[in-house]
């Protein structure tokens, strides 16, 4: 549990905000120096997402998506805008959202809102999103804040909408990273938080072809 490793909640959040303010507003910056894995990541995410967009009675719509911890819009640009009519972005770092406006190019006109906010304080508009995509950011939330945020995400879904988490998974327990003030949870902890938020796990997949030296990365879909 994060309560075991986060001693001061205010410090946990403010230190992370400060860390990201100093990170270059580039794809390499967003990926901690691993910019070269971006295409592998996006292609896997696209395949994962397509499973829910196929024809059928419970097909997920393609009207609007929300990119959480969006940074400069790497995922918005390459994964979400090619599929959804409109996209909203939320990130705690103002400079990243400013950079996104030029990084996204012409297609960026279909980004409706740029919300500058930490996810612990953010509430998706109810019944608004077909997909809420949360990637490489849950480590910046305490367990309670993550559970509460996922509850608000659940309310933010349109009919047949899904919440997707894609993130690093620890081998065991919860590991603190003092550099960027984040935690890495193991699979069991993440699944428990998902259940606590009242969400039902629809699919879970391990990312392949990432460098051996980084954490295992898993993608979860839920509603």
Residues annotated in a binding site:
69, 74, 91-93, 119-120, 135
Closest to 79 (Cα-Cα) out of 31, 134, 127? 134
What is d(CA 183, CA 196) in angstroms, rounded to the nearest whole number? 19
DSSP string, 47-114: HHHHHHHSSSTTPPP-SEEEEET-TTTHHIIIIITTT-SEEEEEES-HHHHHHHHHHTGGGGGGEEEE
Closest to 45 (Cα-Cα) out of 79, 82, 72? 79
* Residues that constitute the known binding site for S-adenosyl-L-methionine: 69, 74, 91-93, 119-120, 135
φ, ψ for residue 34, nearest 5 deg: -110, 40
With beta carbons less than 8 A apart as the criterion, state whether 161 and 60 touch: yes
With beta carbons less than 8 A apart as the criterion, state whether 163 and 221 touch: yes
What is d(CA 13, CA 16) in angstroms, rounded to the nearest whole number? 5
For the chain, the residue count is 223
What is d(CA 47, CA 30) in angstroms, rounded to the nearest whole number? 22
With beta carbons less than 8 A apart as the criterion, state whether 22 and 184 touch: no
What is d(CA 214, CA 218) in angstroms, rounded to the nearest whole number? 12
């Amino acid at each position: 549990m994060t309560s075991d490793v986060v001693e001061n909640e205010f410090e946990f959040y403010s230190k992370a905000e400060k860390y990201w303010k100093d990170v270059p507003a580039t794809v390499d910056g967003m990926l901690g120096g691993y910019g070269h894995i971006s295409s592998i990541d996006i292609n896997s995410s696209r395949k994962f997402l397509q499973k829910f967009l196929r024809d059928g009675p419970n097909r997920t719509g393609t009207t609007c998506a929300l990119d959480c911890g969006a940074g400069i819009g790497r995922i918005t640009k390459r994964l979400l805008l090619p599929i959804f009519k409109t996209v909203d972005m939320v990130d705690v770092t103002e400079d990243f959202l400013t950079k996104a406006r030029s990084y996204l190019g012409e297609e960026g006109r279909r980004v409706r809102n740029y919300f500058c906010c930490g996810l612990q304080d953010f509430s998706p508009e109810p019944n608004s999103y077909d997909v809420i995509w949360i990637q490489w950011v849950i480590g910046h939330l305490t367990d309670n804040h993550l559970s509460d945020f996922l509850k608000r995400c659940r309310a933010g879904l349109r009919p047949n909408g899904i919440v997707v988490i894609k993130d690093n998974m620890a081998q065991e327990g919860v590991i603190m990273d003092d550099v960027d003030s984040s935690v890495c949870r193991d699979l069991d902890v993440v699944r428990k938080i998902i259940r606590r938020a009242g969400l039902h796990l629809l699919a879970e997949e391990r990312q392949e072809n990432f460098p051996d030296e980084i954490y295992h990365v898993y993608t979860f879909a839920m509603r």
